[in-house]
Structure 1
Amino acid sequence: MAQFEPFDRQARRRARDRAMGLIEGRDQMLRHVANELAERRQLLGAAPEGRELWIGLMLPPPGVVGLDPSPRLAAAHGGLSGDEDQRHFPDGRFTRITAFMTLHGVNDLPGALLLARRALAPEGRFQAAFPGGYSLGAVRDAFLAADAAAGGGVPARLGPSVDPAEAAGLLQRAGFVDPVVEVETLTLRYRSLADLARDVRAHGDSGWLAGRARGLTTPRRWAAAETMFAQGADADGRIGVEVQILYLSARAP
């Protein structure tokens, strides 16, 4: 029996391909997360000398081996194109692996973590950052209300996310030791649901839910979701949207 996959792999590649030309001017969150990862890297301690793998090539640092689902991003940064839950490297090749804002779109997250651990040399260091928890709750609520009002059922709009309470266990199951999971809640502010949608698209994070509703976001339904979303506006007209960023770190035994 074929395993159910919540995310459309081809659609995800295309979304990240498109994002390469859209992210300029909308990369503030990515830069914030990159800085947070750099600070946590110091706390993680020194790794053995060797190669470093950087997964997710929106903001890759120089001098690392790169991997990204997007062929376009991989080509632009001299990296390899491929999914994180498929094997691309021999065991023990790297002494550091960083997964930057991609693991929320992996179909087999336990498998991806296992492959990352296997690709690390003994005492190698692993870090990851990605959205999880109850991110984009205001968006979920707006579409839920609009879809319910339209009738005919409530289609899937946003994909499953990782529960922060379960993240350390995923690292342990993959064979990592000394797992640490931290959660940072960011509040992003938008003037409209359409503005938020443009931001999500620029990050390559839209249109790849396998069970997504095709053709159901009619102008009337979108307008209803916009109205519901706008009810959360502050005095300046902007709506706050919370995104939970999970920071994971561990080492190989």
Structure 2
Amino acid sequence: MEPFDRDARRRARDRAARLLGDRDDILRHVAGELAERARLLGPVPDGPALRIGLMVPPPQGVICADPGFDLARRHGGVQCDEDRLPFADAAFAHIVGLMTLHGVNDLPGALILCRRALKPGGRFQAAFPAGLSLGGVRQAFLAADMQSGRGVPVRLGPAVDPAEAAGLLQRAGFVDPVAEVETLRLRFASLAALARDVRAHGDSGWLAARARGLTTPRRWMLAERAFAEGADPDGRIGVDLQILYLSARAP
């Protein structure tokens, strides 16, 4: 059984493209980090570049792809899942995955396809949430579920352990693998505000094992209360988002 519902993920990304608005600070920050890291890593072979992930527009002239139908269509790109890339071997000199690989069902398979799609010496880069991101949210829902006395439903999917990321790149056939983690401290007025932000980024509602009618008003109230226990003096609650940056070359 796949951990993520592919159809629900496509719908969530297309819906998010209409909701994101001025909430794109994290995406633009990560895109800028990837571009700066590419500059520091030096030149790549001659050839086209591929951007996977279109919640922020790709650079001009870059071939693009996204799991969302509307997002791909808007930017003249290809709609596809990362573990089902339709591109030929050795088609690209540079592939960048922007904040999507945390939602792919077969991450090792996606990495292998990216490596195969690169020219010899071509570079792969990606960035996506991983590790212990949003730990305060997990704890708040766990506390609410325990207090409700009706069991603990599955709410969050598997996350990549940053300590294993370089090994994943090596097993996919890449060389010179590098995995780095940046922790961003985000602050919200409430759990509801955080949930709206997550939805606007297309990162909710596509866990395959999710239960329908998952959060009752009582459970949500309990989760809000538990989440607010970690509030700063100004009333806002801080949560950590871990961004995993990957880079490697095709041999």
**What TM-score do you get using the length of structure 2 for normalisation?**
0.98
Question: How far, CA to CA, are the matches of 2:208 and 2:185 in structure 1?
Answer: 27
Question: How far, CA to CA, are the matches of 2:136 and 2:31 in structure 1?
Answer: 25
Task: Work out whether 1:171 is the aligned partner of 2:158.
Answer: no
8 Å Cα contact 1:17-1:73 kept in structure 2: yes
Correspondence for 1:161 among 143, 159, 162? 159
Question: How far, CA to CA, are the matches of 1:58 and 1:210 in structure 2?
Answer: 22
8 Å Cα contact 1:47-1:95 kept in structure 2: yes
1:38-53 residue pairs with structure 2 within 5 A?
Answer: 38-53=35-50
> Which stretch has the larger CA shift, 15-24 or 57-66?
57-66
Deviation per residue, 1:179-235 (Å, 9 max, x gap):
000000001000000000000001000000011121130011101100000001001
List alignment gaps of at least 5 residues for structure 2: none
1:119 Cα deviation after fit: 0.1
Correspondence for 1:27 among 19, 24, 28? 24
- Partner of residue 77, structure 1: 75
- Partner of residue 135, structure 1: 133
Q: Which amino acid aligns with 2:121?
A: E
Task: Work out whether 1:9 is the aligned partner of 2:6.
Answer: yes
- Partner of residue 91, structure 1: 89
Q: Which amino acid aligns with 2:85?
A: R
1:246 Cα deviation after fit: 0.2
Task: Work out whether 1:104 is the aligned partner of 2:94.
Answer: no
Q: Which amino acid aligns with 2:20?
A: I
Runs of 4+ with >2 A deviation? none
8 Å Cα contact 1:44-1:125 kept in structure 2: no
Question: How far, CA to CA, are the matches of 1:91 and 1:151 in structure 2?
Answer: 53
Aligned residue pair count? 250
1:152 Cα deviation after fit: 2.1
1:142 Cα deviation after fit: 0.3
Task: Work out whether 1:56 is the aligned partner of 2:77.
Answer: no
Question: How far, CA to CA, are the matches of 1:85 and 1:136 in structure 2?
Answer: 26
Deviation per residue, 1:50-78 (Å, 9 max, x gap):
10000001112211111100000000000
Question: How far, CA to CA, are the matches of 2:64 and 2:33 in structure 1?
Answer: 20
Question: How far, CA to CA, are the matches of 1:31 and 1:216 in structure 2?
Answer: 32
- Partner of residue 194, structure 2: 196
- Partner of residue 246, structure 1: 244
8 Å Cα contact 1:44-1:249 kept in structure 2: no
Question: How far, CA to CA, are the matches of 1:155 and 1:125 in structure 2?
Answer: 40
1:43 Cα deviation after fit: 1.9
Percent identity, aligned pairs only, is 72
Deviation per residue, 1:3-44 (Å, 9 max, x gap):
x21000000000001001111110010111111111110122
SS at 1:85 equivalent: helix
List alignment gaps of at least 5 residues for structure 1: none
Question: How far, CA to CA, are the matches of 2:61 and 2:146 in structure 1?
Answer: 50
Q: Which amino acid aligns with 1:184?
A: E
SS at 1:21 equivalent: helix
Correspondence for 2:234 among 218, 233, 236? 236
